[in-house]
Amino acid sequence: MRLWNLADQAPLGDPLPAHPGGVTAVACTALPDGTPIVVTGGHDGMVRARNLRKFSTFTEQQFQLPDTPSSITIDDRSRILVGMSNDVLVLSPGWQTHGESRGSIY
């Protein structure tokens, strides 16, 4: 996965490690403190959030997904919604899903 400077159309730094088998879904947003992040999903069943200012992965969590993520979005309550075929996984801040805590996302 590579980040680009849109003003001069040049790459920003080296490619970031992505997902084995490729990235299948991407969403960008800013945290309440203004930090820009990108959230990705891939064939490896992993959901990762990266800080775009530091170009670092600051959280990742693997879920046993029923299918490869085909879409990711972030709603106005900072929940990450991951679409897969006929299913949607909703991750709220703190990686809580189905009432079970999965660590901290932000």
In DSSP terms, which residues pair with 62 in a beta bridge?
46
pLDDT digits (tens, 9 = 90+) for 72-102: 999 888 888 999 888 888 887 654 443 343 4
> Per-domain residue ranges for the chain?
4-91
pLDDT digits (tens, 9 = 90+) for 28-79: 988 888 888 888 899 888 888 888 877 666 665 556 677 889 999 998 888 8
Residues 6+ apart with CB under 8 A from 26: 38, 39, 40, 72
Cα dihedral 34→54→7→22 (10° resolution): -110
In terms of pTM, does the model score above 0.85? no
Structure tokens at 29: 């947003």
Cα dihedral 6→26→48→45 (10° resolution): -150
